[in-house]
């Protein structure tokens, strides 16, 4: 391996080496849990720093299968930052539940490796393998505590539906291979216009989309989302709903980048994407109203958010693609913070947090209530928080691509969703009962929450900085 | 009819019958055996398509290793005579079956009418070379080096999963 | 000489039979076997494309799919064993304790 190639794929090497190193530490060193915790944090920070430092060096490695630098490093940064935030606060959660083992970190790292490969891959075979690596780790993480029935059931559901969906994804890839005679994404994207004339390719693209819809948690494979988010350990749900979505959208953006709605036959695909987007937004927002369990509510809101992001893909222009990436960044911080706030109220894997647990939180824990309220405002898309600009860019892209009806339905769905987000705020601030709430906060959790809050505020105040960065690196 | 066509028809019949029997079979052990039979039929197709290496792998890995794992688990959980596994016949099954049949017809229409221009290729003279171990390993260790390394991680996750979820004493 | 479309329609039929199985059966292990059936149908599609094009990458993809299927079998069966120990059933209808 040449030295330059080695440097290019260093983030992936760091993460994979840590995975292996963790196994050895776990095997040969007693009381290894703390060591593994710090080892993971250090290697994630190294990945973060390195991917930012080398963001300008763009390269294709290993016969055009692996891209490095530019947008890939941006995705590396977001994915490893999300994992870092989750890992920092996960330890105390696992210690509270008395189920803290090194395997948790190994699985988080292998899923991160899979996600990074999905974001950097330029070959459908590698994308598929990255996706499977991520999913297999998530199946296990969802059932992490095997003594808890909730965890078992979540992981069985996730596994069966996930494997079913990857069957569709694989069939899509096979048909694309059959029509393009190659699996290299760059070659396929170059030939996009000619290939779209072939019905075989269009069918492949649609099947690929259906397969990805599972991973991004949108219709038609959305049934697993509420059950799995509710049943999994809360920190795992935090990672699945943010980094998992980011990686799947990264792969979608890479495969669909270079398409425009004006292309022949792409309108069929764009139409299918917009139907999926409409269905996800409406089903997500309307069903979430009926939920009293907070994790289920966030799960349905996750479906709705996947719908908003699909609008950006359907509009198939540069603003749409960069809008989706911006949205994903904001969404990661908002959702990680919300899930971690929920995890602070749980002391074991079987506790279920409902809306009633939030009554009077403003009196007992004003700071936590304030952060939760801020996250709910941001998730519902109120200005001046980051969530607003995510939606704004995506809707603007839809209007530019003559898909105004998508933007209109998006706004309607946002208005509906404001109801259940603001309901949490009402419960916290305007209802009281005497019962004293326990919040198991530690300095690690506080650090993560403050960091997320700062990022969400920052993205709301100066969204242009980040958007310009994204636009610069989109080829 | 040539020998190739006769073989194709026989293999197709075996494949279809075993797949159909699998999904209506009550006893999971029989289902596993039918799936193994199905895999043998697939291996036959791979030989017809000049993919010798994949045909061997199909039998060694799928029929030999993966399905043995299935049999082990079914025996371990002693599922073959379990009451909880009764599968009542109901409306959902009828709808799903109709859906499946429609899907097959759709695919048929698609491959035979809509996409028939894309599929007008004859088997390539290179196919024997493309299916040989030599050619496959050449491409595997040059172009697909990174995917090959990734599979090792995927198998590693499989091992860790077994430890996390199924090891008897996990403290 | 068998035309490509016969291989494709056959694998599409296997794929659809797999889908019917997943939708109709309630035994987790049989559902999992039906998913294996679907993956193998895709493998047949890949190999036939690969042979008709004279291009090895389709067969290499099949090789990777087999590796993934092996890992998936380990993970899936471990999940099923973990569930069975807690609940003594692998009927997916009884697994549904979550409300919609």
Beta bridge partners of B122: none
Q: Which helix (H) or strand (E) element contains residue A61?
A: strand A59-61
- Hey, is A293 helix, strand or coil? strand
Chosen for mutation from B151, B153, B168, B169 (greatest number of chain A CBs closer than 10 Å) is: B153
Nearest to B70 by CA among A473, C28, A79, A230: C28
Partner B contacted by A129 (CB < 8 A): yes
Note the maximum CA span of chain B. Answer: 65
Cis geometry, peptide bond prior to residue A220 (ω within 30 degrees of 0): yes
Chain A, nearest residue to B146 by Cα: A62
First to last CA, chain A: 27
CA angle A86, A90, A93 (to 5 degrees): 145
Contacts of C42 in chain A (CB under 8 A): 167, 170-171, 174
Chain C, nearest residue to B23 by Cα: C21
Q: Which helix (H) or strand (E) element contains residue A66?
A: strand A66-68
The answer to whether A177 touches C53, Cβ cutoff 8 Å, is no
CATH of the domain at C52: 1.10.287.3510
Q: In which band, very low, low, confident or very high, does the pLDDT at A190 lie, cut at 50, 70 and 90?
A: confident
Residue A280 has pLDDT above 90, yes or no: yes
Q: What is the mean pLDDT of residues A287-306?
A: 93
- Give the whole-angstrom CA distance, residue A373 versus residue A421: 9
- Give the whole-angstrom CA distance, residue A91 versus residue A97: 10
- Give the whole-angstrom CA distance, residue B166 versus residue C85: 9
Helices A266-289 and A294-315, axial angle in degrees (round to 10) = 160
Residue A173 has pLDDT above 50, yes or no: yes
Q: In which band, very low, low, confident or very high, does the pLDDT at C99 lie, cut at 50, 70 and 90?
A: very low
Contact C86 A147 (CB under 8 A): yes
- Give the whole-angstrom CA distance, residue A459 versus residue A333: 10
3-state helix, strand, coil in chain A (%, to 5): 75, 0, 20
Count CA atoms within 13 Å of residue A245 on its CB side.
33
Contact B42 C44 (CB under 8 A): yes
Q: In which band, very low, low, confident or very high, does the pLDDT at A438 lie, cut at 50, 70 and 90?
A: confident
Query: Is the CA virtual torsion A226, A232, A238, A239 positive or negative?
Result: negative
Range with the lowest mean pLDDT among A200-214, A234-248, A443-457, B110-124? B110-124
- Give the whole-angstrom CA distance, residue C57 versus residue A175: 14
Q: In this structure, is residue C13 part of a structural domain?
A: yes
In this prediction, residue B84 carries a pLDDT of 46
Chosen for mutation from C1, C15, C24, C53 (greatest number of chain B CBs closer than 10 Å) is: C24
Average pLDDT taken over every residue of chain B: 87
Out of A125, A143, A167, name the one closest to residue C42 (CB): A167
Which overall architecture, per CATH, does domain B1-87 show? Up-down Bundle (1.20)
In this prediction, residue A422 carries a pLDDT of 93
Beta bridge partners of A60: A67
Contact C38 A164 (CB under 8 A): yes
The set of residues, in sequence order, having a beta carbon less than 8 Å from that of A397 and lying 6+ positions away, is: A311, A312, A315, A317, A319, A320, A323
Contact A146 B150 (CB under 8 A): no
Q: In this structure, is residue C46 part of a structural domain?
A: yes
- Give the whole-angstrom CA distance, residue C4 versus residue B111: 10
CB atoms within 10 A of CB B24: 14
Contact B8 C6 (CB under 8 A): yes
Contacts of C94 in chain A (CB under 8 A): none
Range with the lowest mean pLDDT among A105-119, A184-198, B142-156, C40-54? A184-198
Partner B contacted by A236 (CB < 8 A): no
Which pLDDT tens digit goes with each residue over A1-37? 688 899 999 999 999 999 999 999 988 887 888 899 9
Which pLDDT tens digit goes with each residue over A208-254? 999 999 889 998 888 899 999 999 999 999 999 999 999 999 999 98
Contact C75 B161 (CB under 8 A): yes
Q: In this structure, is residue C77 part of a structural domain?
A: yes
Residue B8 has pLDDT above 80, yes or no: yes
* Dihedral angle over CA of A166, A171, A175, A177, nearest 10: 50
In this prediction, residue A262 carries a pLDDT of 67
The set of residues, in sequence order, having a beta carbon less than 8 Å from that of B89 and lying 6+ positions away, is: none
In this structure, what token pair is assigned to residue A432?
């009281």
- Hey, is A9 helix, strand or coil? coil
Which pLDDT tens digit goes with each residue over A420-434? 999 999 999 988 876
DSSP summary character for residue B123: P
DSSP summary character for residue A67: E
Contact C10 B12 (CB under 8 A): yes
- Give the whole-angstrom CA distance, residue A291 versus residue A421: 11
- Give the whole-angstrom CA distance, residue B38 versus residue A191: 37
Residue A264 has pLDDT above 80, yes or no: no
Q: In which band, very low, low, confident or very high, does the pLDDT at A440 lie, cut at 50, 70 and 90?
A: confident
Residue B171 has pLDDT above 60, yes or no: no
Split into its structural domains, chain C has a count of 1
In this structure, what token pair is assigned to residue B68?
């043995």
Q: Which chains touch A (3 or more CB pairs under 8 A)?
A: B, C
Q: How many helices (H) and strands (E) does chain A have?
A: 22, 2
Which pLDDT tens digit goes with each residue over A124-157? 999 999 999 999 999 999 999 888 888 898 999 9
Residue A436 has pLDDT above 60, yes or no: yes
Q: In this structure, is residue C100 part of a structural domain?
A: no
Q: What is the mean pLDDT of residues A255-264?
A: 73
Contact B116 C48 (CB under 8 A): no
In this prediction, residue A266 carries a pLDDT of 80
Q: In which band, very low, low, confident or very high, does the pLDDT at B119 lie, cut at 50, 70 and 90?
A: confident
Length of chain C: 100
**Domain residues for C21?**
4-95
In this structure, what token pair is assigned to residue A178?
């059959």
DSSP summary character for residue A351: -
Contacts of B144 in chain A (CB under 8 A): 65, 123, 125
In this prediction, residue A105 carries a pLDDT of 94
| DSSP state string for B45-68 | HHHHTT-HHHHHHIIIIIIIIIHH
CA angle B19, B20, B24 (to 5 degrees): 120
Which pLDDT tens digit goes with each residue over B33-72? 999 999 999 999 999 999 999 999 999 998 889 999 999 9
Which pLDDT tens digit goes with each residue over A92-112? 999 988 888 889 999 999 999
In this prediction, residue A29 carries a pLDDT of 86
Q: In which band, very low, low, confident or very high, does the pLDDT at B80 lie, cut at 50, 70 and 90?
A: low
Average pLDDT taken over every residue of chain A: 91
Query: Is the CA virtual torsion C51, C57, C62, C66 positive or negative?
Result: positive
Nearest to A258 by CA among A87, A122, A403, A161: A122
Q: What is the mean pLDDT of residues A443-465?
A: 93
State which of A64-68, B85-89, B103-107, C59-63 shows the largest mean pLDDT. Answer: C59-63
pTM for this predicted structure: 0.95
* Dihedral angle over CA of A343, A347, A350, A351, nearest 10: -70
Range with the lowest mean pLDDT among A113-117, B115-119, B126-130? B115-119
pLDDT above 90 as % of chain A? 68
In this structure, what token pair is assigned to residue A10?
């260093």
Cis geometry, peptide bond prior to residue A384 (ω within 30 degrees of 0): yes
């Amino acid at each position: 391996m040449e030295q330059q190639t080695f440097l290019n794929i260093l983030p992936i090497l760091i993460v994979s080496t840590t995975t292996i190193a963790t196994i050895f530490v776990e095997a040969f060193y007693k009381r290894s849990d703390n060591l593994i915790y710090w080892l993971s944090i250090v290697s994630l920070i190294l990945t973060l720093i390195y991917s930012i430092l080398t963001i300008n060096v763009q390269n294709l490695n290993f016969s055009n299968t692996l891209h490095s630098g530019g947008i890939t490093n941006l995705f590396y940064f977001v994915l490893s930052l999300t994992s870092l935030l989750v890992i920092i606060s996960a330890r105390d959660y696992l210690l509270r539940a008395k189920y803290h083992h090194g395997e948790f970190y190994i699985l988080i790292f292998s899923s991160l490796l899979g996600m990074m490969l999905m974001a950097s891959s330029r070959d459908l075979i590698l994308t598929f393998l990255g996706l499977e690596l991520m999913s297999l780790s998530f199946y296990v993480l969802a059932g992490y505590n095997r003594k808890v029935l909730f965890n078992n059931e979540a992981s069985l559901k996730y596994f069966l539906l996930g494997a079913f969906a990857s069957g569709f994804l694989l069939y899509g890839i096979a048909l694309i291979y059959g029509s393009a005679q190659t699996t290299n994404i760059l070659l396929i994207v170059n030939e996009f216009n000619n290939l779209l004339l072939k019905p075989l390719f269009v069918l492949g693209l649609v099947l690929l989309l259906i397969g990805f819809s599972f991973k991004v948690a949108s219709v038609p494979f959305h049934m697993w989302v509420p059950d799995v988010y509710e049943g999994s350990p809360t920190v795992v749900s935090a990672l699945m709903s943010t980094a998992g979505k980011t990686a799947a959208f990264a792969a979608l953006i890479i495969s669909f980048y270079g398409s425009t709605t004006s292309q022949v036959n792409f309108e069929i695909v764009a139409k299918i994407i917009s139907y999926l987007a409409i269905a996800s937004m409406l089903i997500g927002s309307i069903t979430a109203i009926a939920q009293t369990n907070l994790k289920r509510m966030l799960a349905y809101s996750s479906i709705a958010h996947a719908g908003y992001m699909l609008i950006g893909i359907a509009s198939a222009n540069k603003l749409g693609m960069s809008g989706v990436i911006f949205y994903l960044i904001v969404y990661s911080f908002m959702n990680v913070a919300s899930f971690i706030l929920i995890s602070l109220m749980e002391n074991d894997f079987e506790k279920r947090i409902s809306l009633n647990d939030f009554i009077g939180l403003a009196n007992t824990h004003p700071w936590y209530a304030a952060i939760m309220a801020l996250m709910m405002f941001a998730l519902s898309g109120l200005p001046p928080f980051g969530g607003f600009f995510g939606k704004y860019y995506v809707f603007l892209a839809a209007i530019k691509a003559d898909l105004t009806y998508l933007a209109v339905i998006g706004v309607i769905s946002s208005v509906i969703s404001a109801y259940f987000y603001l309901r949490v705020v009402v419960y916290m601030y305007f209802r009281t009962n005497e019962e004293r709430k326990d919040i198991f906060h530690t300095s690690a959790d506080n650090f993560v929450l403050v960091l997320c809050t700062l990022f969400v505020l920052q993205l709301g105040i100066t969204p242009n900085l980040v958007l310009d960065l994204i636009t610069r690196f989109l080829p | 009819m040539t020998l190739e066509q006769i073989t194709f028809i026989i293999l197709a019949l075996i494949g279809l019958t075993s797949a159909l029997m699998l999904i209506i079979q009550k006893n999971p052990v029989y289902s596993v055996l039918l799936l193994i039979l199905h895999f043998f039929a697939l291996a036959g197709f791979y030989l017809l398509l000049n993919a010798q290496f994949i045909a061997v792998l199909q039998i060694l890995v799928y029929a030999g290793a993966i399905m043995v794992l299935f049999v082990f688990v079914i025996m371990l959980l002693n599922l073959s005579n379990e009451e909880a596994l009764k599968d009542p016949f109901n409306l959902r099954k009828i709808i799903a079956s109709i859906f499946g049949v429609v899907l097959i017809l759709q695919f048929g229409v698609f491959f035979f009418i809509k996409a028939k221009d894309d599929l007008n290729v004859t088997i390539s003279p290179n196919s024997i070379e493309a299916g040989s171990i030599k050619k496959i390993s050449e491409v595997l260790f040059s172009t697909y080096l990174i995917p090959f390394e990734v599979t090792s991680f995927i198998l590693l996750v499989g091992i860790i999963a077994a430890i996390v979820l199924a090891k008897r004493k996990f403290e | 000489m068998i035309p490509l479309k016969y291989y494709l329609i056959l694998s599409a039929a296997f794929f659809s039979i797999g889908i019917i199985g997943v939708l109709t059966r309630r035994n987790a292990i049989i559902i999992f076997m039906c998913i294996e059936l679907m993956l193998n149908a895709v493998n047949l599609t890949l190999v036939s494309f690969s042979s008709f094009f004279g291009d090895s990458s389709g067969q290499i993809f099949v090789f990777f799919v087999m590796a993934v299927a092996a890992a998936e079998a380990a993970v899936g069966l471990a999940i099923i064993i973990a569930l069975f120990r807690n609940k003594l059933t692998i009927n997916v209808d009884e697994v549904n304790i979550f409300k919609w």
